[in-house]
Chains A and B, each alone.
Chain A
Amino acid sequence: DAGITQSPRHKVTETGTPVTLRCHQTENHRYMYWYRQDPGHGLRLIHYSYGVKDTDKGEVSDGYSVSRSKTEDFLLTLESATSSQTSVYFCAISARDNEQFFGPGTRLTVL
């Protein structure tokens, strides 16, 4: 357990509304990631961070932005949610031995 929490765990929202998902870690890991999981696609990287205020895009970054103002928090924002962003979102950190530890996931439904 790498001390990773995600909030909220479930959210239902309407098309066009902004949504922010939070990832919080307690072990001061430098690298953090946001993925989305959809049937038939596995996990796809949205954005990642390699330090405070240092972020970069992943393979499916369109429509998403991130911020990391503190080591422990990595925020994912959907500026204007669309139905195609209905998914399960996972936060992860990269730890010792190069393995990733994952948060419990957030199920987001955009109506």
Chain B
Amino acid sequence: AQTVTQSQPEMSVQEAETVTLSCTYDTSESDYYLFWYKQPPSRQMILVIRQEAYKQQNATENRFSVNFQKAAKSFSLKISDSQLGDAAMYFCAYRGSSYTSGTYKYIFGTGTRLKVLA
């Protein structure tokens, strides 16, 4: 079974600085998708960035980028020029290619709470 591990329950970063959130996963599949979601205090889940495993190039969305290491099964999120609005819980998620009962399952990590210090 696939697993997703976020080993940092909490991280802090100074405003305007860069922070990296870690995520590792375990799978025997070769084709899959990885996601980072942000959950601010409003509780709404917001997609930050996605990565297809077959793509070598790391995904980038404005100040957010990933370091995808397929062999190491690592998928870290880098936030550059951190802003107060980045403070939130961040979840790493995995979607496999196994098609079971007509759909795909998504597996989430336990989350990392990011604090941004002014």
Chain A contact residues, CB within 8 Å of chain B: 31, 33, 35, 40-45, 48-51, 54, 56, 58, 88, 90, 92, 94, 97-102, 104-105
What is the interface of chain B, defined by CB distance below 8 A to chain A?
4, 6, 33, 35, 43-45, 47, 50, 91, 93, 95, 100-106, 108-111
Once the chains are docked, how many angstroms separate the CA of A105 from the CA of B45?
9
Across the interface, B43 reaches (CB within 8 A) one of A33, A100, A105, namely A105
Interface of A: prevailing SS: strand
Does B102 lie within 8 Å of A51, measured CB to CB? yes
> What is the CB-to-nearest-CB distance from A25 to chain B, in angstroms, rounded to a whole number?
15
Give chain A residues whose Cβ lies under 8 Å from the Cβ of B106.
33, 45, 92, 94, 100
CB-CB nearest in chain A for B4: A42
Q: Is A94's CB under 8 angstroms from B110's CB?
A: no
B99's nearest neighbour on chain A, judged by CB, is: A50
Instruction: Report the minimal beta-carbon distance from B110 to chain A, rounded to whole angstroms.
Output: 4
Chain A residues near B44: list those with CB within 8 A.
102, 104-105
Please give, as numbers and ranges, the residues of chain B lying within 8 Å of A102 by CB-CB distance.
Answer: 44-45
